[in-house]
Amino acid sequence: MKEPNNIAKVIAEKKWNELSRAHREEIAKLLEHMDDVRDVNQEYVDHRTIGQLAADGVAKVAGSWSFIIFFLSALLLWAFLNTEILGPRHEAFDPYPYVFLNLVLSMLAAVQAPIIMMSQNRQSARDRLDAEIDHEVNVRAEVAIQNVDARISELSQKLEEATKLMVAKA
């Protein structure tokens, strides 16, 4: 395990030995990459496969109002065409009760549902990555705050010593 760098001296001097080994390793790992800034959005975009891109695209389109309005219009057109226009001439390609339409909709749902679930799983993975990055930021902030606190305590102690020297000389 790499020793903590200068930022963690406060922990090393006061509480480092009181921490569990796992916590010490986690802090040391974070401190090694203190200058690294992770962007959850960029990591999410950079690591997508073709299948994941397709799933995200289908979920984006299928979950939009444009798709819902288009699909509802297509269903109404299908029903109107087969019932009112072609039905009276006995030329309907899918007469009421629309068995073929039912088959098409069932097949669409059978394909669309797993694709949307894949996209939701991707969103869950993105949320986990976001939480991981938040945790790293919180640990970095805690270490930085402890460092600032130690510096303030050190300055306060030096100020008290200087005040005592001034009072003693006076």
Q: Is 30 within a domain?
A: yes
pLDDT higher than 70, residue 11 = no
Q: Is 164 within a domain?
A: no
Neighbours of 94 (CB within 10 A): 19
Find out whether 38 and 46 touch, Cβ atoms under 8 Å. Answer: no
Query: What confidence tens digit (pLDDT) does each residue in 50-79 have?
Result: 988 888 888 888 889 999 999 999 999 999
Res 136: pLDDT: 83
Average pLDDT, the chain: 83
Res 3: pLDDT: 44
Q: Collect contacts of 96-102 with beta carbons under 8 A, ≥24 apart.
A: 101/75
Find out whether 154 and 101 touch, Cβ atoms under 8 Å. Answer: no
Under the banding of pLDDT at 50, 70 and 90, the label for residue 101 is very high
Res 85: pLDDT: 92
3-state secondary structure of 92: coil
Residue span of the structural domain in which 9 resides: 1-36
Res 36: pLDDT: 65
Q: Is 169 within a domain?
A: no
95: left (phi over 0), alpha (psi -120 to 50) or beta: beta
Q: Is 68 within a domain?
A: yes
pLDDT higher than 70, residue 140 = yes
Tokens of 141: 């902030």
Q: Are 73 and 26 members of one domain?
A: no
Amino acid at 167: V
What's the CA angle centered on 38, arms 53 and 147, to 5 degrees?
160
Q: Is 146 within a domain?
A: no
Render the burial of 47-68: b for 16+ CB within 10 Å, e for the rest.
Answer: eeeeebeebbebbeebeeeeee
pLDDT higher than 70, residue 35 = no
Under the banding of pLDDT at 50, 70 and 90, the label for residue 131 is confident
Region 10-31: what's the mean pLDDT?
67
Q: Is 112 within a domain?
A: yes
Under the banding of pLDDT at 50, 70 and 90, the label for residue 17 is low
Check: pTM over 0.75? Answer yes or no: no
Query: What confidence tens digit (pLDDT) does each residue in 148-159 have?
Result: 998 999 999 999
Amino acid at 141: A
Q: Are 59 and 119 members of one domain?
A: yes
Q: Are 103 and 77 members of one domain?
A: yes
The DSSP line for 8-74 is GHHIIIIIGGGS-HHHHHHHHHHHHTTT----HHHHHHHT--HHHHHHHHHHHHHTSHHHHHHHHHH
